[in-house]
Amino acid sequence: MSAPHVVVGLSGGVDSAVSAWLLKEQGYRVSGLFMVNWTEDEEGYCTAAEDFQSARAVCEELEIPLHRVDFSAEYRARVFEQFLAAYRAGKTPNPDVLCNREVKFQPFRQHALRLGADFVATGHYARLEQATDGPHLLRAADDNKDQTYFLATVAREHFERVLFPLGGLTKPMVREIARRAGLPNHRRKDSTGICFIGEREFRSFLAQYLAPDPGPIEDDAGAVVGEHRGLMYYTLGQRRGLAIGGRRGAQEAPWYVVAKDAARNVLVVSQEADHPLLMSRQLLARPFHWIRPPQRGELQARIRHRQALQRCEIRLADDGSVVADFAEPQRAAAAGQYLVLYEGEECLGGGEIALVQS
């Protein structure tokens, strides 16, 4: 009987490379699959070509085949267009959540299975427990690298026949495995940011697709203290790039974005880092996607990647939305981000934040 065939999503980075090495060491028949998501890059900011060469070098070292698939059309329609629509609506989107839900665990997974895979594997820091009632998504052993936040809206059935080899490892352990195995990318830096933006200035990129809409910057007392380039360029809690000079009567302290008044096209700022406008005790998320419905109302939550788990109590509405009441106020929660819920080690699901209440 031949060994099970695993198709590993290879990004060119060390995490996916170690995933492939581990699976081969465990006796699987391993193939690599490199995914192209973005092809419009006249200025060379996206590293897709370099990433592919890195993935190819890993496959040569491991003596496994490498397949390449172009999902740029799907990515643009399912991720990038939603990304732009969210900014037009004044939200703060998270394309990594969309990419996992709309591409990596849909067309990418389906393509891997068409290649004859018995299993599909990725370099995500997360764990899966295949139970009689279906897959359970669990937090990674390395809480600093845990990526369940980005996986919380993936359909439960799409976790079937999926492996996360790194779920029980820490990042230093993964680096050491790569070094000892002689993987050619063991020193490669982790990728940061979004491929279609790369290292370029965010505002200049967004301006290619969304027309700037300048307006006044007001302090929390209503006085005009500057001009913004467009509300879409700013995030709640932001303190850099506001271009607010010294103000008579103001403290020598940084300014923070505390609110966006879309109706008046006004950016509201304050020198109070934890201004009441930034703090929220109640969030409403809709639509909410459950990987597994909760057994009780008292849960833990995250509203951003790497945030420490926050205690909350949830209520379910008839329309499928979730209201979360937090034990401690949450700073800089913004519409378009995701509320992700946990019960102990298990990630139960997530939904887009639609309403923030102080």
Quickly list H helices, the chain: 14-25, 48-62, 72-75, 81-88, 95-99, 107-114, 148-151, 171-181, 202-207
> Residue 337 in contact with residue 355, Cβ under 8 Å?
no
Overall average pLDDT of the 151-166 stretch: 97
CATH code for 212-273? 2.30.30.280
Protein fold of 5-181: Rossmann fold (3.40.50)
**pLDDT value of residue 296:** 84
**pLDDT value of residue 1:** 65
pLDDT, one tens digit per residue, over 314-352 is 999 889 899 999 999 999 999 999 999 999 999 999 999
Report d(CA 68, CA 227) in Å as an integer: 46
Confidence of residue 77 (pLDDT cuts 50, 70, 90): very high
Residues carrying CATH 2.40.30.10, the chain: 278-357
Name the region of 349 (left: φ>0; alpha: ψ -120 to 50; beta: rest). Answer: left
**pLDDT value of residue 193:** 64
User: For residue 119, how many other CB atoms are within 10 A of its CB?
Assistant: 18
- By annotation, the residues acting in catalysis are 99, 195
**pLDDT value of residue 41:** 60
Pick the CATH number of 278-357 from 3.40.630.30, 3.30.70.20, 3.50.50.60, 2.40.30.10: 2.40.30.10
Please, which residues have CB within 8 angstroms of residue 294's CB and are 6 or more apart in sequence? Answer: 314, 341, 343, 348
Residue with tokens 């203290």: 225
Confidence of residue 357 (pLDDT cuts 50, 70, 90): confident
Side-chain-facing half-sphere of 195: CA atoms under 13 Å:
20
Residues carrying CATH 3.40.50.620, the chain: 5-181
Residues carrying CATH 2.30.30.280, the chain: 212-273
Task: Tell whether the model's pLDDT for residue 46 goes beyond 90.
Answer: no
For the chain, the maximum distance between any two Cα atoms, rounded to a whole number of angstroms, is: 80
Confidence of residue 198 (pLDDT cuts 50, 70, 90): low
Confidence of residue 44 (pLDDT cuts 50, 70, 90): low
